[in-house]
Amino acid sequence: MKAIRVSEFGPPSVLKLLDVPTPAPGPGEILVRVKAVGVNPVDTYIRDGAYRKTLTPPYTPGSDAGGVVEAVGADTNLKPGDRVYTSGTTAGGFNGAYAELTVCRVNQVHRLPERLSFAQGAAINVPYATAWRALLQRASGRPGETVLVHGASGGVGTAAVQIARAQGFTVIGTGGSDKGRELVRRNGAHHVVDHKNPKYLEQVLDLTGGKGVDIILEMLSNVNLGKDLGVLAKAGRVVVIGSRGTVEINPRDTMMRDAAIFGMALANASDVEIASIHAALGAAFEQGTLTPVVREELPLAEAARAHERVLEPGAYGKIVLVP
């Protein structure tokens, strides 16, 4: 079968489409035929070699596939031909989902409702599970609170806006382009602001009548964390989801508000938390309250282009690769 392989860490050009042996599912595993695979920013950090060294080349990237069950080696009610999405693959990604076939543990394979395409299935795992965990598990968000989704036009942001709106939060979302902000509005944000406008955080405060927001889901903490603390309400919480560098904060801004800053990595979620997240997401996808947004589908062979585009400004939902 064909798969993208990374033989050494480096720029996007190290992503090569190669012929590799067809994998088989072992005990407790499921083989999934990949119809589409989601491209996440973390795939680029790992490929670069600058991230936590969790993988050693050669490996195949990717965790988030939409596809069909090909073969089953586990005790499960899934059977060949069932439509599914994945929330990881075996071997920590060595045989990842940027491939025609991928092997998953049984608890990494979830039913994909008929109403969603395979590309939408590939847009579920990292974005939606991260948004759910950040809002409802790390920040312990309560319906009725106000949440600022700081970076609402990208993969995690679109998921966060949809989830927060469906759960009864008042949602303020930010985007850096007209098109991105239109998407944030369509996804259900009550208010949309431009994070490139120098006065946008004043607008956020005005939207809350000066009280501040209860929760901030932060996609670019190295730029925003210091300023975030100034627009938090009393007992407000910031969840650090994304960061690409360091930042200075004034700790007194947390003191004055009894505020809290929570770090989070989806990889730290327990199996119980993950199972609970996918149970909730599955119901919402089936019922139609959540709908993944796919910005563009590229052929698997163009993985390098996808890795460049996912880091460019002007986000609009997910980029997926099609084998």
Residue 40 engages ligand NAP in binding (rule: CB under 6 A): yes
Among 65, 161, 225, 315, binds ligand NAP (CB under 6 A): 315
**Of the two residues 96 and 151, which places its CB atom closer to ligand NAP in the complex?**
151
Q: Which is nearer to ligand NAP, 60 or 221 (CB)?
A: 221
Strand order of the β-sheet with 260-263 is 191-194, 170-175, 146-150, 213-218, 232-240, 260-263
Q: Which of 175, 212, 236, 323 binds ligand NAP (CB under 6 A)?
A: 175
Q: Which stretch binds ligand NAP (CB under 6 A): 10-18, 58-66, 91-99, 219-227?
A: 219-227
Q: Contact between 41 and ligand NAP (CB under 6 A)?
A: yes
Least CB distance to ligand NAP at residue 292 (A): 12
| DSSP structure string for 273-321 | HHHHHHHHHHHHHHHTS----EEEEEEGGGHHHHHHHTTSSS--SEEEE
119 binds ligand NAP (CB under 6 A): no
Residue from 223, 231, 293, 321 binding ligand NAP (CB under 6 A): 223
Contacting range for ligand NAP; rule: CB under 6 A; set: 60-68, 169-177, 198-206, 247-255: 169-177
Q: Which two tokens stand for residue 74?
A: 């586990």
3-class DSSP assignment, residue 6: strand
48 by Cβ neighbours in 10 Å (0-12 / 13-18 / 19+) ranks as middle
Using CA atoms, how far apart are residues 323 and 319, in angstroms rounded to an integer?
14
Eight-class DSSP state of 268: G
CA pseudo-torsion sign 41, 44, 48, 51: positive
314 binds ligand NAP (CB under 6 A): yes
Q: Is the dihedral of CA 168, 180, 36, 15 positive or negative?
A: negative
Binding of ligand NAP by 180 (CB under 6 A): yes
Task: Give yes or no for residue 220 binding ligand NAP (CB under 6 A).
Answer: yes
Select 63 or 78, whichever has its Cβ closest to ligand NAP: 63
CB of 314 to ligand NAP, least distance (A): 5
CB of 87 to ligand NAP, least distance (A): 12
Which CB, 23 or 151, lies closer to ligand NAP? 151
Could you tell me which stretch among 38-46, 47-55, 77-85, 161-169 binds ligand NAP (CB under 6 A)?
A: 38-46
Q: Where are the alpha helices (DSSP H) in the chain?
A: 41-48, 118-122, 125-132, 155-166, 178-186, 200-207, 221-228, 252-255, 271-287, 303-309
Our CA angle for 312, 318, 323, nearest 5°, is 105
Whole-angstrom Cα distance, residue 151 to residue 169?
17
Question: Closest-CB residue for ligand NAP?
Answer: 154
Tell which one of 42, 99, 193, 238 touches ligand NAP (CB under 6 A). Answer: 42
DSSP state of 238: E
**Is residue 150 involved in binding ligand NAP (CB under 6 A)?**
yes
- From CA 190, how far away is CA 187, in angstroms rounded? 9
Q: Which residue ranges make up the site for ligand NAP (CB under 6 A)?
A: 40-42, 126-127, 130, 150-157, 174-177, 180, 195, 219-220, 223-224, 241-242, 264-266, 310, 313-315
